[in-house]
Structure 1
């Protein structure tokens, strides 16, 4: 390409500024226009997707996905799920108050947890100094539901109807005992920050089905339980070592759904279009001069942001939803930012081809007054979670949409602090907790894994969080062992160097 003297001078300046540009572009944390990545043309994406689906060879580790169709060689096998929705209960739901029924504990009220059960296992600093570890039996009634008589707490009357269509895993476990490393671990495959999130891996490997929306969208729902909640950091949906265009895009409940989506005052769409055209020309000069692949990504990201000015407001406008659908999700559904509203939005995203949607619901960290806060949390999520499954099912979408519900670890059977007949709190417990899966490829009515009578140790069929992630990838047509990206001399994987086992007992 022949350059004018002005362009040559600009190229030299850009080349000299490469280090500074790289620093700023790689360290930027904004999730506005600079993170709104996806693809270039729906026709090109469809053609590439068909070619990729017919290719049964291994994925090309570290190869560049420049269209919306995903990597060559993916999927590794026929996928059962085209998309996934992850309902993440941040703070750790109490498994023995919701899903893991332990009736024998009624006779253990205020008795100490036996040393033979605890086995010297690690405790947090919040309870390690306690003189006693008094047993706090659940105060909630359980009843059998479904064909197999699955025991479910009275706190979850709507999800109790779904037990024949979900796979309940009672034997999840993790090594992390504090919130930030635990949630980082389950979202990115490592307790230390800096790795790519599950949604970013899926976006990178499989691409998107909608040229006007990102492949990976994130929502943080409001909550009505304990108001002090663990912080959520955007690295939980970040792309880590993957190109920045694969990080999740966070939707907000007030103002612009995405930061900086609206044009500034005095700038209309025509002027914005001309500005982007000029900016693209400058970025192409930069790309040819310094060879930074993030520059081409930046061009595509600005174009995506331009298209999202129309697509995102249409997505967020639920006025076209019939009343019976709104009634399914409950009275909070019309309030932006509620869990009910987020679940309805997740269905709308799935309809529009969003590959991975993650909803974070905070406030599950009940160290103190659990009997007050836990029912509020369950009211937030029970009806909307069930409605999401019903909504997807009646639209014929549940067959190819995977839905996952769970948190980062569980809670202890013993009380933190003072125990009374009506008030108790529970500490962190990584040794066992409960998640459920539903939809594409999942065997309904399954209860997998068992815990001891104290819901403290796993006694049958343990499932590590790496196994959960490997199973999620498997339903999407991905072999987690073969899905890698070279970084710092290591073929990085979501399931780490240890790898993960696909829990085939959960799958049809």
Structure 2
């Protein structure tokens, strides 16, 4: 018969054993995860908490589309047309009429009549603001959270946090990024394998020179060497790279090169299949406007974005250049909108009908907005104090408006949303805590949002 002392002794030792077993199991799991990450850094990883979205499609409107002409209705601006503005210049009403759209009644202008049909799927964030009134700085901050240092991009952080779903495709694809955009799709101090893979040839501000899908496929394939010849060539290069690693121990650039070469080799089979839009029906091509006319180029890219999502690509960015209208705003903004309105609407409709919209976060926005005051007779200047972006699918409320600018649209005044808040919210929808998604570099833990950022809980579905 056991005494009370023996029972207490056994129980206390048992609790200690259970605690030790739990710690040992945790360490084993961590060791296994570390080994898996070392072997394949793009392997899928568990999110911090259940995610609303698995994929992101970022529709980047380069140049600064005017919020007061697109998604931020300002009736007072029309009433005060011609009067002197708060920061100088004469106020200029929008050349386009705004209407309430869908059951939600969101105000959206006639510049985007097709996108407006999806108002009930969208959350408009009308109180965005950033720190830079110039294109390069604002664009870099939108992508990396800062302009002071070279930092990993939003897409790179996403891939680092979640890994990829397809080991034969890049986890982060940038379609037709403009020249000089390497930093905005780069991995900086993160391992190089998390950087974006550029597909297509984008022009600078005011130009749009995307390669066709077939041209991009030709860039991926090697027509001069057979697959076995390429494999032998790559094996020699990888042998030399690994010898360098053995000698110098820690060489992140070399490690990234080894991984990138292997991924590029595997892509030759998988990537052309994903990018072959000839397999799509005539009805699908027409839905995106990818069958001809001014919508064909951007329409094909939006269609590719859907195909990349289906193939398991984590983050897709499509750049649409040419929104920088200091003059000729009426004609140029119209032509820009015509080129991307139907493709974006087609993308939303296609994702929804394929039951992909709920798990895909679609984001639209530029690096800043434009002033309510006219520049010249028909233009608007840069405005980083207040502008609009929108999100759809992926766990956000539909038919919802968050925040506001003042009566003329100069500055965010209600529920202000900084770029850090925007980034924190995007990561949250992907199941990532922006404060816990860190990387040790130069003696400190870095994160996308630095020491700032709050999740905009009001827009979460």
Structure 2-normalised TM-score? 0.86
The 1:413–1:98 alpha-carbon spacing in structure 2 relative to 1, beyond 3 Å, is: same
1:293 Cα deviation after fit: 4.0
Q: Structure 1 residue 110: deviation in Å?
A: 1.8
Match for residue 494 of structure 1 among 441, 448, 451: 448
Tell me if structure 2 keeps the 8 A contact 1:329–1:388.
Answer: yes
Q: Which residue of 2 aligns with 1:153?
A: 109
SS in 2 for 1:162: helix
Q: Which residue of 2 is the match for residue 275 of structure 1?
A: 233
Correspondence 1:175 to 2:149: no
Q: CA deviation at 1:263?
A: 2.3
Which deviates the most, 387-396 or 333-342?
Answer: 333-342
- Distance in structure 2 (CA, Å) of the matches to 1:156 and 1:335: 15
Residues 457 and 299 (structure 1), Cα distance of their counterparts in 2 relative to 1, 3 Å cut:
closer
Instruction: Sort the Cα spacing of 1:208 and 1:336 in 2 relative to 1 into closer, same or farther, 3 A.
Output: farther
Contact 1:89 1:364 (C-alpha < 8 Å) held by counterparts: yes
Does the CA contact (< 8 Å) of 1:156 and 1:382 recur in 2? yes
**8 A Cα contact 1:76 1:478, kept in partner:** yes
CA contact under 8 A between 1:410 and 1:434: conserved in structure 2?
yes
- 1:69 partnered with 2:46: no
Give the corresponding residue for 1:235. Answer: 183
1:394 aligns with 2:373: no
Paired with 1:91 and 1:260, the residues of 2 have a C-alpha distance of: 28
Per-residue CA deviations over 1:328-355 (Å, capped at 9, x if unaligned) read: 1115569998211110000000000000
Flag the 1:398–1:97 CA change in 2: closer, same or farther, 3 A: same
Query: Separation in 1 of the partners of 2:433 and 2:422?
Result: 13
Among candidates 223, 237, 242, match of residue 284 of structure 1: 242
Match of 2:403 in 1: 449
Match of 2:277 among 310, 318, 325: 318
- Aligned residue number for residue 7 of structure 1: none
**Does residue 107 in structure 1 map to residue 63 in structure 2?**
no
Partner Cα separation in structure 1 for residue 193 and residue 288 of structure 2: 32
Gap change, CA 1:231 and 1:294, over 3 Å in 2:
closer
Deviation at 1:264, TM superposition (A): 5.7
Partner of 1:246: 194
Conserved 8 A contact 2:387-2:412: no
User: Which whole-Å CA distance do the structure 1 matches of 2:219 and 2:258 have between them?
Assistant: 16
Please report how far the alpha carbon of residue 385 of structure 1 lies from its aligned counterpart in structure 2 after TM superposition: 0.8
Deviation at 1:185, TM superposition (A): 0.2
Task: Please give the alpha-carbon distance, in whole angstroms, between the structure 1 residues aligned to 2:160 and 2:293.
Answer: 33
C-alpha displacement at 1:294, in angstroms?
A: 3.6
Q: Secondary structure at the match of 2:114?
A: helix
Matched, 1:304 2:263: yes
Higher helix share: 2
1: CA distance between counterparts of 2:155 and 2:315? Answer: 6
Give the secondary structure class of the aligned counterpart of 1:161: helix
Spell out, residue by residue over 1:19-42, the C-alpha distance to the aligned partner (whole angstroms, 9 max, x if none): xxxxxxxxxxxxxxxxxxxxxxxx
C-alpha separation in 1, matches of 2:158 and 2:318: 16
Closer, same or farther in 2 for the Cα pair 1:168/1:336, shift >3 Å?
Answer: closer
Q: Unaligned regions of 5+ residues in structure 1, if any? A: 1-50, 119-131, 222-229
Size of the aligned set, in residue pairs, is 419
Aligned counterpart for 1:355 among listed residues 299, 303, 314: 314
Please list, as runs of the form range in 1=range in 2, the aligned pairs for 1:468-507 lying within 5 A after superposition: 468-497=422-451, 499-507=452-460
Q: Describe the SS at the equivalent of 1:257.
A: helix
CA offset at residue 95 of structure 1?
A: 0.5
Instruction: Report the alpha carbon displacement of residue 189 of structure 1 after superposing the two structures with TM.
Output: 0.7
Q: Which residues of structure 2 form unaligned runs of 5+?
A: 1-24, 201-210
Report whether the alignment pairs 1:135 with 2:91.
yes
Give, in angstroms, the shift of residue 323 of structure 1.
Answer: 1.4
Output one character per residue of 1:312-333: Cα deviation in whole Å (capped at 9) or x when no partner.
Answer: 2112211110111111111556
Give the conservation status (yes or no) of the 8 Å contact 2:387–2:411.
Answer: no
- Tell me if 1:202 matches 2:158: yes
Q: Contact 1:146–1:164 (CA<8 Å) still a contact in 2?
A: yes
Q: Secondary structure at the match of 2:241?
A: helix
2:413 is paired with a residue whose SS is strand
Aligned to 2:231, what secondary structure does the other structure show? helix
Shift of 1:70: 4.5
RMSD: 2.4
Partner in structure 1 of residue 222 of structure 2: 263
State the alpha-carbon separation in 2 of the partners of residues 64 and 492 from structure 1. Answer: 20
With over 3 angstroms needed to count, the CA separation of the structure-2 counterparts of 1:290 and 1:260, relative to structure 1, is: farther
How far apart are the structure 2 equivalents of 1:104 and 1:268? 66
Superposed displacement of residue 106, structure 1: 2.4
